[in-house]
Amino acid sequence: MLNRILVAAALSVAVAPAAIRAGSHKDIVDTAVAAGSFKTLASALQAAGLVETLKGPGPFTVFAPTDEAFAKIPKADLDALIADKAKLTKVLTYHVVPGKVMAADASRLKEAKTVEGQALRIDASSGVKVNGAKVVKADVEASNGVIHVVDSVLLPQ
């Protein structure tokens, strides 16, 4: 069933299509779905009931893990996370910063407070890393914020 949800949610950024490069007329969720490499993220947002929130006015900054980032988590652990709505919501809201923080702004910050409540550590000494996760694509604009694609799932303490 999870695979059906993942396929139906369809999200990819490996080769960013025009839809993601010109996504400013779409909200964060629709921009991510159009990209194609965020199937697991889309499924998780749906399971946590956060889709409508991220389709809201924002602005939001989302550090979006790719499907490959989620694949680093053992399947049993990922399935357990998706099944635990409270824990899943905590993890997903840890990827969201209120406001629109572009890469140029983020590179001057040492941390950013998340919607979850804890701060993310930002290191711009060699590329941009957030809690050690590498930002692999920055400044994907959406109508209600911006997406920065990361190569790992960020886990709150």
User: Crossing angle of helices 39-48/2-9, nearest 10°?
Assistant: 110
Domain segments of the chain as ranges:
2-150
What is the pTM assigned to this prediction?
Answer: 0.83
User: Crossing angle of helices 85-93/75-83, nearest 10°?
Assistant: 100
What tens-digit pLDDT sequence spans the chain (157 residues)?
322 222 223 233 333 333 334 445 899 999 998 888 899 999 999 999 999 999 999 999 999 999 999 999 999 999 999 999 999 999 999 999 999 999 998 888 999 999 999 999 999 998 899 999 999 999 999 999 999 999 999 999 8
| 90 close to 116: Cβ distance less than 8 angstroms | yes
Domain 2-150 has CATH 2.30.180.10: yes
| 53 close to 45: Cβ distance less than 8 angstroms | no
